[in-house]
Structure 1
Amino acid sequence: MAGGFPTETRGNGLTGTVPILFAAALFAYFVSMVPTIAATDIIRVSIPWVPSLGIEFAFLVDGLSLTFSLLISGIGTLVLLYSNTYLAGHPQYARFALFLTAFMVSMLGLVLADDLILLFVFWELTTITSYMLIGFSHESKKSRRNALQALFVTGAGGLAFLAGLILLAAVSGTTSISGIIAQGDALKEHAMYLPILILLLAGTFTKSAQAPFHFWLPNAMAAPTPVSAFLHSATMVKAGIYVMARMHPAMSGTDVWLWTLTIFGAVTAIFASLLALRQTDLKQALAYTTLMALGTLTLFLGQESGYAMTAFATFLVVHSLYKASLFLVVGCIDLSTGTRETDQLAGLGRLMPITAVAAALAALSMAGFPPFLGFIGKELKYAGALAVASEPVLVAGAALLSNSLMLAVAGVVAFRPFWRGTVPSGQSPREAPWQMWAGPIILASLGALFGIYPDLLQTTLINPTVISLTGEVEEAKELKLWAGFNIPLILSIATFVLGLLIYARHVQLRALLARVFAALPNLDNGWDGFLDGFKNFAKLQTAFVQNGKLSSYLFATFLTIAAGILLTLVYTGMPFIDVDLSDVEWKHASIALLTISGAILALFTNSRIAGIAALGVVGIGIALIFIVFSAPDVAITQLLVETLIVVLVSVVMLRLPSLPKAEFRLGHAALSVAMGVAVSLTLIAVVSSPLELRLTDYFEATSWPEAYGRNIVNVILVDFRALDTFGEIAVVVIAALSAYALLRTTRKGGQS
């Protein structure tokens, strides 16, 4: 390599080319849908998946999902093109390309899904694929640690998210997302609205890294730079934002929705902006600006005004374009100079002019300067903030402070490394290959193009997206580069002034912020301690639950069963049952006495052989009960099993020492009584209730015509429950083979 870049820039052959073509084909496919969606139409395709539960492979394309799909596939194409050169010759590039493509497809499935179960499947796929990408450099302890952190945090949120989806489906009576949105008013009035909202937001907040769940996202920078560009601009971190936007028509409009999203979004935006300013690593600075953007998007999703929804839709596109571009620029800088530290970078503009232009265009859009789309987005954010009926000053103030900090960070990331000072000695930077600067230039140029010609974006994506959020095209506000002299313009000017002042003093502010945040609790610092504590708890739990004593396992198992049965009987309020013993005959009593005698013998004997024989007596007593009540087939099975168990276990027992003197154990005795009472009450309740004979009637009617058998029990076992019977036979065979292996081992051990 010369200057850090690969001398061979043809990439990785078909392994690199095929994913690029696949992503480009997807992007072209979604572009072909733009005219349909721009005409305020939707596209829905569904295939039955679990018809009995009403679950479908249902996909919906509307303004919101199409915007996300275009960003995911378009940026995905450029990232794959970039990666093919960035990782040219990497021995595991095929694995990387597979993970990245799977990540892209998972995100596309998530934003297109129109079924809750399908949505969750793709939601979890994004979690798994991002885990593999963050931990791609698996030989690095840091990569493994940060990948596990991302998996744990987002996975835990995913469990809450699943619970919320289940409740949502139960309340609405459907898993169709479009069907749920159609009954939004009824959902908000339902008693389960608050639990559903809490669970859904727990999942979306962890996924979109809202404070205090923010700490995993900057650590995801352990992934290769192309992954960071894709993850932060258009994919995983936006998954939570997408779900909140998708559920906005059904869940918004309540005070709890408004204040929860507003407070969490505002705190995340300001907090992340301050953290971004204190970073000296360019990737880390951009990572925290992503948190700022996610907080801003969440803040505006808490509102209902047309300005807020238009601001959301516009900033969604603005952020994706400039953030992907800047991350790819940082990758070029890192590969060319060997560092991402701002204090070690200077004078790159003359040696990397194309990269410098891409950085400047993206940063100007990020800072909100005209005539870039970022300026229009910033104006809309201020207009949306002022349209908030409850606390416009709070929302506008949060937007002003975070935007000013973003302007300063944009200067640190895109101006200082290129146009300040001279190249430090020891560095020999050069321009990146075209495959690596093409993406940043295209994405940054789109930010300028859409700023100069906002109508291109207005009619194709913004209006349809606002319709998806509000249901009314009239709610979409016009994108204007010049909207006149108004309060948003004054706030924009204030942003420029404050942002430039912060940039001028950012070194001093960075030192101050470092001292302040050093004194505050850091969840990331506590992560390793939490994980160690979690492992220690698991060890203690394992030592208690899996202590190696079979008696403990049996005790816990039967205690759970007895408690479950008795609590169910108490909860259902089973009335007292008058037991009639008038029809009990001597043969019934003698069988009961035989069974009880076997149980008592097994309890008090010191001989293992006598104990297993006593249990065999209990089994024979049960078989006699089956015979008395006309179930000879079941009785034969019972006798065969009991005989087999007694013989096999007795052979093994001959090798074991005698049992210690039996001791009375109060706990075991109480459990035995409780188990007996529970089973007895359950059986009495069953026989005292009217029998449900639908299955009986069905088997009687179909055994001969369909299965050609007159013995209904045999027909059920062999035909109607064939797979179940096959499984039981397999279990018996495996048990027999295991017993045979055990006996051989015992015999050999004795011979030695």
Structure 2
Amino acid sequence: MLFTVLTGLITSSLLIPFGKLVKAKWSIVLPLVPVLLFVFYLLHIPTILGGTNLVQHVDWVPSLGVNLDFRLDGLSLLFALLITGIGTAIFFYGRTYLKGHPYFDRFFAYLLLFMSAMLGVVLSNNILTLFVFWELTSISSFFLIGFNNDSKASRDSALSALSITGLGGFFLLAGLIYMGHIAGTFMISELFTKHDLIVDHPQYPLIVGLIFIGAFTKSAQFPFHFWLPGAMKAPTPVSAYLHSATMVKAGIYLLARFTPILGHTEIWNNTLLIVGGFTMVFAAIHALFRVDLKGILAYSTISALGVLTFLLGLGTQEAIIAAAVFILVHALYKATLFMVTGIIDHETHTRDLTKLGGLRKVLFPVFIAALLAALSSAGLPSTFGFIGKDLIYEATLHYKTNWTLWLTALAVITNIGLVAAGFMAGLKPFTGKLPPGFANVHLPYPSMWIPPLILGSLGLIFGVFPGYIGDIFNYQAANAIVQTDTAMHLKIWHGFNTVLLLSLATLLIGIVVYFFNKPSERKLAAVERLNSIAPQRIFSIIGRSTMRLSNWYTQTFHNGYLRSYHIKIIVFAEILLGYKLWISGPIHIKWDSLTPLSWYEVGIVAMLLGALYIIVTTRSRLTSVVSTSVIGYCICLMFVFYSAPDLAMTQFTIDTLTTVLFVLVLYKLPSFINITSRWLQLRDAVVALGFGVILSLIALRVLQEPNVTEISSFYGENSYLLAKGKNVVNTILVDFRGLDTMFETVVLSIAAIGVYSLIRLRLKSSEKE
């Protein structure tokens, strides 16, 4: 499993040196990566159907509990097949869609990176590893959404998506660490057995809240939904892949995976019911007012994600089965509709629903794919969408509560909106008269229209054989969520009952709404008048306020003057250390225990004070530098007197080198120093004296503390055994501080990349201005 995750990462990195070759001749190699991964996971279906879960463990940072642990069960297999299967269709589709694009190789590098990140999310058996891949999906999606980087709208949409999902990731990390700390493990498979321990903990509501924020932001639940319509600025292959079948369902996967760990409580179920129920109705209604095809699909996607959250909130066995099936149903028809929209945009150069019509006459295979997807979205009998909608109504009708009818009514209203939205996106552009301007529109390359036709046909085939398909793809997925055998077996016919009547009524009313609803720019403008109270505006206000606060903070604390940084750091340290000394009680000095000063120590201190006086009073830069070196050499002698020759030699070397460098710099500086105002001199003197007094008090405090040698004993005993070094100081610096050194290396590497980028930067004359 680790290899499948690394395959996309390795291929993505190979596109950096070999990108031009791929663009020229070998682009056909790119779709082979998801094809091979899809076949790999298909071959594991018999194992998972037999009830065996595959586990892989690779040590990474075992001392911190962070390991590359992977687990393949029914739920992760379903998502892995979606990621690689629909990824295969998208790679073939995108290869033609972006043919000739100057950043063709860059696009597929990002796409491969995203695919690997998603596989890492759904396969991870360690919650910290899961978080690493979770954040990698946010970063790679940022690059994909902002792929058209010459467009300000694309850049803004990418930043919005990264800000919202990144904020959610921050809260998610806190929740995951808190949960792992309480349970005593970061392994997801072990957390399944810690349900009672976590749920009974006083901080359980906090953990749930943090997890919810992470999941809701990623899966575009209200009020975090607005980033998803904005992300439609991305190329259509990105929308079809990320925003129908993969990234936006990462939050759904997280909720489903943690249901056995955190679920089955009022906080968990009621929150998901409320948030999911409101989101699905809100977005379904909004989709009816859109005139942009991708806008319609974006809001219907938000609604579908709300449905899945709503079903997980119901939490019953019927609801979990419905969620497991609807994940597959939605991925098939929504990816198809997105790709169809891309073809329409690619050939007609518009996505405006009011300008489209009659395209069946020139894009007939595309029309067939769109029709099949729209019918599955509507839940027509014999389609897989019909099975999905039936299961939703079974879940709401069998929910034992006084709110059963209301919950069912919400589901019906939502599905009516989804029926109409599916027909708007899948049928409206192809029906009616063909506008004269589209008479020359022709079919694109087969590699663009065959993938949506296949996915649309699967929606019909799966609907004809739901029992067989459900047993393969959905049965073990539902079992993994409820952690028990659901005995699920899908049927195409359940007889005449309330569920069937609701499905037929939904279909008929949805068709009526489709015919009577006439979306227009005027209606859309009327709806958008409510944007003044929309969550997007609220978040924008918060964002602008944060920017103003950041600007004030930067101008105040990071104004570019080194002396300003120094004094702020020192004052803060004084306050912190002074407070600690204050609460620690009085200092009792044992004068008898202090070693009397020798004459040479007094002489060295006198020299040091004299040099210090010269530094603060002289106006000559050269005199100031020489006096500073005198202080350094006095400290060297102090180290020699107290038996630290190694420190003395280090101090001597550094002080000499620094003095030489200062003297060299003096050639570029004025000879004399401009004395600052008396008030600033007095301020600096007070701060300096205060710092010296505090350090002196700390030294006296240390003298009255008992001599504790545990730390020095640890390094002395383990320096050779653990670090394989006989010099304790060296092993501390090299081995025990390895993590610190690693981060320092990362910082230097980032700086080197930045410098290299600036060196290689070639700006146009207009950009230089």
TM range (shorter): 0.7 to 0.9
Kindly indicate whether the alpha-carbon contact (under 8 Å) linking 1:171 and 1:192 is maintained by their aligned counterparts in 2.
no
User: For residue 708 of structure 2, what is the aligned residue in structure 1?
Assistant: 691
* Distance change >3 Å, CA 52–CA 146, structure 1 → 2: same
C-alpha distance in 1 between matches for 2:105 and 2:714: 59
Residue 674 of structure 1 and its aligned partner are, at CA, apart by: 4.5
Moved more, 303-312 or 330-339: 330-339
1:68 aligns with 2:84: no
1:23 aligns with 2:34: yes
User: For residue 640 of structure 2, what is the aligned residue in structure 1?
Assistant: 627
Moved more, 668-677 or 12-21: 668-677
C-alpha distance in 2 between matches for 1:89 and 1:649: 56
1:580 aligns with 2:596: no
C-alpha distance in 2 between matches for 1:641 and 1:431: 73
Kindly indicate whether the alpha-carbon contact (under 8 Å) linking 2:121 and 2:130 is maintained by their aligned counterparts in 1.
yes
1:88 aligns with 2:105: no
C-alpha distance in 1 between matches for 2:607 and 2:420: 88
- Counterpart amino acid of residue 60 in structure 1: R
Q: State how 1:485-500 maps to structure 2 within 5 Å.
A: 485-500=496-511
Q: What's the secondary structure of 1:349's corresponding residue?
A: helix
Residue 365 of structure 1 and its aligned partner are, at CA, apart by: 0.9
Q: What's the secondary structure of 2:287's corresponding residue?
A: helix
Moved more, 508-517 or 268-277: 508-517
C-alpha distance in 2 between matches for 1:102 and 1:429: 35
1:440 aligns with 2:440: no
Residue 683 of structure 1 and its aligned partner are, at CA, apart by: 3.7
User: For residue 687 of structure 2, what is the aligned residue in structure 1?
Assistant: 671
Q: What's the secondary structure of 1:630's corresponding residue?
A: coil
Match of 1:458 among 470, 478, 488: 470
Match of 2:407 among 395, 399, 408: 395
- Counterpart amino acid of residue 196 in structure 1: I
Q: What's the secondary structure of 1:46's corresponding residue?
A: strand
* Distance change >3 Å, CA 658–CA 23, structure 1 → 2: closer
Identity among equivalent pairs (%): 37
Kindly indicate whether the alpha-carbon contact (under 8 Å) linking 1:16 and 1:97 is maintained by their aligned counterparts in 2.
no
1:175 aligns with 2:186: yes
Name stretches of at least 5 consecutive residues in structure 2 with no aligned partner.
1-21, 749-769
C-alpha distance in 2 between matches for 1:473 and 1:447: 26
Kindly indicate whether the alpha-carbon contact (under 8 Å) linking 2:289 and 2:519 is maintained by their aligned counterparts in 1.
no
Kindly indicate whether the alpha-carbon contact (under 8 Å) linking 2:290 and 2:524 is maintained by their aligned counterparts in 1.
no
Kindly indicate whether the alpha-carbon contact (under 8 Å) linking 1:134 and 1:222 is maintained by their aligned counterparts in 2.
yes
Kindly indicate whether the alpha-carbon contact (under 8 Å) linking 2:41 and 2:80 is maintained by their aligned counterparts in 1.
yes
- Counterpart amino acid of residue 679 in structure 1: L
Match of 1:137 among 148, 154, 169: 148
User: For residue 641 of structure 1, what is the aligned residue in structure 2?
Assistant: 654
Residue 574 of structure 1 and its aligned partner are, at CA, apart by: 3.6
1:385 aligns with 2:385: no
Kindly indicate whether the alpha-carbon contact (under 8 Å) linking 1:47 and 1:57 is maintained by their aligned counterparts in 2.
yes
C-alpha distance in 2 between matches for 1:569 and 1:452: 78
C-alpha distance in 2 between matches for 1:597 and 1:248: 72
Q: State how 1:488-637 maps to structure 2 within 5 Å.
A: 488-507=499-518, 512=523, 514-521=525-532, 522-524=534-536, 535-567=547-579, 574-582=584-592, 583-587=594-598, 595=608, 599=612, 602-603=615-616, 606=619, 608-609=621-622, 611-612=624-625, 615-616=628-629, 618-637=631-650
User: For residue 237 of structure 1, what is the aligned residue in structure 2?
Assistant: 248
- Counterpart amino acid of residue 516 in structure 2: R
C-alpha distance in 2 between matches for 1:347 and 1:471: 50
Residue 637 of structure 1 and its aligned partner are, at CA, apart by: 2.9
The superposition leaves residues 249-293 of structure 1 with CA deviations (integer Å, 9 ceiling, x where unpaired) of 111122222222212111211111122111111111111111111
1:115 aligns with 2:126: yes
1:318 aligns with 2:329: yes
- Counterpart amino acid of residue 553 in structure 1: Y
User: For residue 493 of structure 2, what is the aligned residue in structure 1?
Assistant: 482
* Distance change >3 Å, CA 276–CA 568, structure 1 → 2: farther
* Distance change >3 Å, CA 523–CA 305, structure 1 → 2: closer
- Counterpart amino acid of residue 671 in structure 1: V
1:282 aligns with 2:293: yes
C-alpha distance in 2 between matches for 1:561 and 1:399: 59
- Counterpart amino acid of residue 82 in structure 1: Y
* Distance change >3 Å, CA 700–CA 153, structure 1 → 2: closer
Moved more, 61-70 or 246-255: 246-255
- Counterpart amino acid of residue 213 in structure 2: A
* Distance change >3 Å, CA 156–CA 701, structure 1 → 2: closer
* Distance change >3 Å, CA 593–CA 396, structure 1 → 2: farther
* Distance change >3 Å, CA 424–CA 276, structure 1 → 2: farther
Match of 2:673 among 627, 645, 658: 658
Residue 117 of structure 1 and its aligned partner are, at CA, apart by: 2.2
Q: What's the secondary structure of 1:340's corresponding residue?
A: coil
Kindly indicate whether the alpha-carbon contact (under 8 Å) linking 1:15 and 1:97 is maintained by their aligned counterparts in 2.
no
Kindly indicate whether the alpha-carbon contact (under 8 Å) linking 1:606 and 1:661 is maintained by their aligned counterparts in 2.
no
The superposition leaves residues 108-154 of structure 1 with CA deviations (integer Å, 9 ceiling, x where unpaired) of 11111111222122112211221221222222222222222222222
Kindly indicate whether the alpha-carbon contact (under 8 Å) linking 1:165 and 1:200 is maintained by their aligned counterparts in 2.
yes
C-alpha distance in 2 between matches for 1:44 and 1:700: 38
TM-score (norm 1): 0.87
Q: What's the secondary structure of 2:643's corresponding residue?
A: coil
Q: What's the secondary structure of 2:59's corresponding residue?
A: strand
- Counterpart amino acid of residue 512 in structure 2: L
User: For residue 280 of structure 2, what is the aligned residue in structure 1?
Assistant: 269
Residue 640 of structure 1 and its aligned partner are, at CA, apart by: 4.1
* Distance change >3 Å, CA 66–CA 149, structure 1 → 2: same
Moved more, 219-228 or 140-149: 140-149
* Distance change >3 Å, CA 526–CA 592, structure 1 → 2: same
* Distance change >3 Å, CA 426–CA 315, structure 1 → 2: closer
Q: What's the secondary structure of 2:518's corresponding residue?
A: helix
Residue 322 of structure 1 and its aligned partner are, at CA, apart by: 0.4
Kindly indicate whether the alpha-carbon contact (under 8 Å) linking 1:110 and 1:123 is maintained by their aligned counterparts in 2.
yes
- Counterpart amino acid of residue 644 in structure 2: A
* Distance change >3 Å, CA 648–CA 325, structure 1 → 2: closer
* Distance change >3 Å, CA 56–CA 718, structure 1 → 2: closer
* Distance change >3 Å, CA 259–CA 517, structure 1 → 2: farther
Match of 1:468 among 474, 477, 480: 480
User: For residue 443 of structure 2, what is the aligned residue in structure 1?
Assistant: 431
Name stretches of at least 5 consecutive residues in structure 1 with no aligned partner.
1-10, 710-714, 735-752
* Distance change >3 Å, CA 31–CA 702, structure 1 → 2: closer
Kindly indicate whether the alpha-carbon contact (under 8 Å) linking 2:89 and 2:451 is maintained by their aligned counterparts in 1.
yes
Residue 103 of structure 1 and its aligned partner are, at CA, apart by: 1.6
Q: What's the secondary structure of 1:447's corresponding residue?
A: helix
User: For residue 743 of structure 1, what is the aligned residue in structure 2?
Assistant: none
Residue 42 of structure 1 and its aligned partner are, at CA, apart by: 0.6
How many pairs are equivalent?
A: 712
C-alpha distance in 2 between matches for 1:435 and 1:637: 68
Residue 472 of structure 1 and its aligned partner are, at CA, apart by: 0.9
Residue 170 of structure 1 and its aligned partner are, at CA, apart by: 2.2
The superposition leaves residues 599-650 of structure 1 with CA deviations (integer Å, 9 ceiling, x where unpaired) of 5554455554555555445445544443343223323433443454455435
The superposition leaves residues 198-250 of structure 1 with CA deviations (integer Å, 9 ceiling, x where unpaired) of 22222221111111111111121112212111112221111111111111111
